[in-house]
Amino acid sequence: MQFFRKTREDLRVFFHYFRKYRKYYLVGITSLVIVDSLEVVPPYLLKLVIDRLTAGQATAAYLAQIVGIYMAVALVQACMRYLWRHYIIRTSMFASNDMRSELFVHLSTLAPGFFRKRRVGDLVSLSTNDIEAMRFALGPGALILVDASFYFLTIPPMMFFLSPKLTVVAMLPLIAVPFLTRKMEHVVEEQFRVVQDRFSLLASHAQEALGGIRVIKGGALEPLKEREFDRLGKSYIEANVAAAKTQALFYVWLEAFVVLATKLVFLVGGAYVIGERISIGVFVAFHKYIQKLSWPMEAFGMAVNIFQRSIASQKRVDEVLRVRPEIVGGTAAAPAGRHIPALEVRGLSFSYPDAQRPAVDGVSFAVRPGQRVGMAGKVGSGKSSLLHCLARREAIPRGTVFLGGIDVLDIPPEYVRSVVGLVPQEGFLFSRSVEDNILYGSRWFQETDKPARRAAAEKYARIAQVHDDVLRLTDGYETRLGERGTNVSGGQRQRLSIARALAAEPQILLMDDCLSAVDTHTESQILGYLEKALADKTAVIITHRIYSMLQFDKIIVLDNHRIAETGTHDELMAAGGYYAEMFEKQSSGEVVD
């Protein structure tokens, strides 16, 4: 029972999609059964013709009749082969699309902490190589398995009908095949898992190298990366060769059993013909049937290989699917209306996995609707981590962050992220047009009125002071950006990210030092436009340029992951603390960390 439970779990994906697409599989398998059932006819027709010829009873009309039956069988088989290929293989394509979508949707629910521990190349490998291995089991694998099974259900009974004793002799060597298959399946599964793991390493290395190609070229690191890639490539080849050797050995043994069965048919069958216990027609037909049995023997070997590869890939995918989202929503109703909710933080502490100390340690503050709050502090003081917690990009403790008086853990994360917009320090751009990048995620993205869509993109680009830069691009707002925005400058990426955040029309905007790559004049212009654009919104802005926060309603200074000072510019200057020290240094032109 344990074996069958384990087998069912290993083939969970196969059973799930077989049930989901059972109508298509039923048509395909029925067509396949018809093809396999007709496979017994040609050798039997050959037996009839040979027996008639040796008895001198064959006529032209009889031979024409046999040829007609043979052609009719071939025509029906050709039509049925088209149907099973169409339904079974096509259905496996649908299933692979479902699996890939399920994996992608699940990945999109996971917190950033998961992606800090997993290589991008590994996740890409899961959605390509591993999903394809699972699709192969649902398509060619299922096809081969069913085909081989029905061969065994049709060919041996026909052989038994012709000669029971000769059938027993022919089947004796084949008894060992199930034991060989059982012994090899775990070896194949483990070897293919190693193959997939090493491919993931290779893909991750390539992705990392291409993503950091500027650093590699700038540091003349090409020879080092080439050696690393060559080493990983050879390791991948070694794993494939080891798996291929096992597979080849498996097929050799299968072929040996089939050859042994054929030789026994020649020896024993020949003796039966000499002793007139069977006719020459039966002997020839029997040989044809044995030849046909060589296919299902090989097919079972192929099926074992395909399904063990699929099981290994399924386990790799399941490892990710079993990861539960750390950021989940509650059942409480979100604050009604479009009014700006108050933001309150109560004793918030947050730590990254394996960190020696908290990134945010006991932080508490409140932001009234419509306030502009500045946030300053040394590099590494916890400012960015704090904003990511407020935007629910990280898993936080209950009772620490509130929107409109409601714990954010009781509100759906989707609502929180629609109300709270975050502009990260390093702007990320998609490989789409500039216009698409600005409107991505906003209500304007699906707008079919092209002039209105363009007007919206230009509006937010002007606020972010990037409109003129866009017009200087080759195709303006239609310019397709390179991956991660490689064909624009760092400052342009930051400003396009600001434009995108504004287009989403959040009620609370968090800006994580997203003006660090622009000059002071441009920053002043952007903040001036933002003051008007954010007149009816709440804003929390991290910046290292103190003079940018002079008119803010509140300034929070973080030091050593805690709040060190809070107040207006005048209050903090009067206090003479860290903020005042930073202001004096920047006023004198001194660089401050």
Residue 447's H or E segment, with its range, is none
pLDDT digits (tens, 9 = 90+) for 574-583: 888 888 888 8
Whether residue 334 is predicted with pLDDT greater than 80 in this model: the reply is no
pLDDT digits (tens, 9 = 90+) for 337-382: 567 888 999 999 999 887 888 999 999 999 998 889 999 888 888 8
Report the C-alpha gap between 105 and 130 in whole angstroms. 17
Whether residue 3 is predicted with pLDDT greater than 50 in this model: the reply is no
The pTM for the full model equals 0.74
Q: Which two tokens stand for residue 326?
A: 């750390």
Give the pLDDT band of residue 588 (cuts 50, 70, 90): confident
3-state secondary structure of 119: coil
Helices 90-109 and 22-38 pack at an angle, to 10 degrees, of 150
Asked whether the beta carbons of 431 and 444 are under 8 A apart, the reply is no
Averaged confidence pLDDT in the chain = 84
Q: DSSP for 291-346?
A: HHHHHHHHHHHHHHHHHHHHHHHHHHHHHHHTSPPSS---SSPPPPSSSPPPEEEE
**High-pLDDT (> 90) share of the chain, %:** 18
Place of tokens 């290994």: 312
**High-pLDDT (> 70) share of the chain, %:** 94
- CB within 8 Å of 451: residues ≥ 6 apart: none
CA neighbor of 290 nearest in space, from 158, 179, 383, 192: 158
Report the C-alpha gap between 351 and 559 in whole angstroms. 16
Q: DSSP assignment, residue 479? A: P
pLDDT score, position 78: 92
Report the C-alpha gap between 205 and 529 in whole angstroms. 43
Report the C-alpha gap between 101 and 13 in whole angstroms. 14
CATH class of the region 1-158: mainly alpha
Q: DSSP assignment, residue 133? A: H
3-state secondary structure of 589: coil
Using a 10 angstrom Cβ sphere, with 0-12 exposed, 13-18 middle and 19 or more buried, the burial of residue 30 is middle
Give the pLDDT band of residue 4 (cuts 50, 70, 90): very low
> CA separation (Å) from 360 to 346, 395, 493?
12, 12, 28
* Phi, psi for residue 101 in degrees, rounded to 5: -65, -40
Mean pLDDT, to the nearest integer, of 220-226? Answer: 78
Report the C-alpha gap between 554 and 187 in whole angstroms. 65
3-state secondary structure of 53: helix
Q: Which residue has the higher pLDDT, 173 or 459?
A: 459
Q: What are the residue ranges spanned by the domains of the chain?
A: 1-158, 343-588
Report the C-alpha gap between 59 and 52 in whole angstroms. 9
Mean pLDDT, to the nearest integer, of 310-329? Answer: 84
Give the pLDDT band of residue 236 (cuts 50, 70, 90): confident
Give the pLDDT band of residue 7 (cuts 50, 70, 90): low
Give the pLDDT band of residue 1 (cuts 50, 70, 90): very low
pLDDT digits (tens, 9 = 90+) for 435-475: 999 998 888 888 888 899 999 999 999 988 889 989 998 89
538-542 vs 554-559, strand pairing mode: unpaired
pLDDT digits (tens, 9 = 90+) for 374-433: 998 888 888 989 999 998 888 889 999 999 888 988 888 888 888 898 888 887 888 889
Report the C-alpha gap between 163 and 272 in whole angstroms. 10
pLDDT digits (tens, 9 = 90+) for 126-170: 888 889 989 988 998 888 888 888 888 888 888 888 888 888 888
Matching fold, domains 1-158 and 343-588: no
pLDDT digits (tens, 9 = 90+) for 25-66: 999 999 988 998 888 888 888 888 888 888 888 788 888 998
Report the C-alpha gap between 383 and 252 in whole angstroms. 64
Asked whether the beta carbons of 273 and 115 are under 8 A apart, the reply is no
- Maximum CA extent, the chain: 123
Other CB atoms within a 10 A radius of the CB of residue 303 amount to 23
Q: Which residue has the higher pLDDT, 240 or 31?
A: 31
Give the pLDDT band of residue 589 (cuts 50, 70, 90): low
Other CB atoms within a 10 A radius of the CB of residue 327 amount to 19
Q: DSSP for 153-194?
A: HHHHHHHHHH-HHHHHHHHGGGGGHHHHHHHHHHHHHHHHHH
Torsion on CA atoms 530, 533, 535, 539, rounded to nearest 10: -50
CATH class of the region 343-588: alpha beta
Residue 367's H or E segment, with its range, is strand 360-367
Q: Which residue has the higher pLDDT, 301 or 315?
A: 315
Q: Give the angle subtended at the CA of 416 by the CAs of 413 and 417, to the nearest 5°.
A: 85
